[in-house]
Structure 1
Amino acid sequence: MPRSKTLPSELDPSARQLVSRLRRLKDHSELTMRQLAAKTGYSAKSWERYLGGTSLPPREAVEALARITGTDPVPLLALHEIAADSWGGRRARPAVQQQDERQEEQEDERQDEQRGGQQESPTSPTTRPLAVPTAPTPPRATEPAPGRFPGIALTAGIAALAVALSAALLLMLRLDGDASQAAVTASPRTTAASPPPSYTCHIARVDGRWSAGINKGRTTEIGYGATGADVAEAQCLLRRAGISPGGIDGMFGPLTLRAVKTFQDRAGLTADGILGPRSWKALRG
């Protein structure tokens, strides 16, 4: 996928940030779409949709891309959670259309597998002689009789609609219950190895600007899922502005995200939840 291709304008900032990070990982790894498909188990056309911003990548696909590029998956998965919430607007599409898109992705994956099998060299050491002559073809016996097709199609459509509606309802319930914990989720090995660092706010005016004395006045852009001293500095300054970000823990979670958007709205800035140079300048006053 060319780097110059622009993302859809209707993408929420959180979803846009997730897709942009996945694009950067793919570009830095210098993997082609076919190599990416071979390493992750998702077809090349599926990755074109994910990196083009037209389909939300599954959680497993995000984990697979992070794994093969040597990247910590925790911030990406936290960002995926909130991106899935913003992607919920697409649930307004007809359920049958969503089912058609999923079937199209599955068909793409089957075609990629068949092409990959045809392009294998017979002399390759990895070729399995027993697998070459057998190509998966649908048996004719399973085709419905002409007279029964309308009834079968109607039943299949109703079943697909019921499955899609159930999945949407479960996703909404899961997002409502887990949104407050998404950003602070860490792997068991990380939490068991060492406790999170503690931060203390030392609010003071330095060269006419407010500072909490934690990140030495940096204005690094940070967003949902970020961690560290920059986040702790922002949390202190948000508290100084009278907006509670939750604890001063250096984790850009749901409470901090809500506080940032509230501050941006009060300051007349775009309330996208991302702290960039303009938002830092307003925070430091």
Structure 2
Amino acid sequence: MANPGQPTIQQGATGRVVRRLQRAIRRTPNLSLVVDGIFGPATHAAVIQFQQGNPPLVVDGIVGPHTWAALPDGGPMPVLSLGSTGDAVKSLQTVLTNGASQWGGVTPQGIDGIFGPHTEEAVEAFQAWGHVVVDGVVGDQTWSVSLHAASATLESAVGLQYVIG
């Protein structure tokens, strides 16, 4: 099960569990949903739409065990920033290098798995292009930026194998 032990939630809920739900729905993919931790009307509508498309789920807008089980893993991607290292950074650098011409031509200047100042500059250029907060930190909002190609987001292009369970 991709989302084990999650509580039943519905409109009005807030917090980390709602972020997990919103990330899972975005990975269906429903790129219109914002990951903000608030189970409001937009999240409710997205849950209904998901339930309608996945019989035999009950279409009630409530996310219980059966809906959680039908959703992809909603765990977070790692937060990457100056000083981060590893394969997730290497994959991020690859995506930033390959798409740099779309978001201002700023590249990480190498694919070494080390999140240094050049990677930070490339992330900032990507964030400006994606109309999210420009802070050089790759968190939920940056991972959710649509790449405008085949329903891809930064997280799906880098690789969902980095989701933190």
Please say whether Structure 1 and Structure 2 have the same fold, judged by a TM-score greater than 0.5: no
Q: Which has the higher helix share?
A: 1
Specify the structure having the higher radius of gyration (Cα).
Answer: 1
Q: Please indicate the TM-score interval, normalised by the length of the shorter structure.
A: 0.3 to 0.5
Q: With a CA cutoff of 8 Å and minimum separation of 6, indicate the structure with the bigger relative contact order.
A: 2
Q: Structure 1-normalised TM-score?
A: 0.23
Normalising by structure 2, what TM-score?
Answer: 0.39
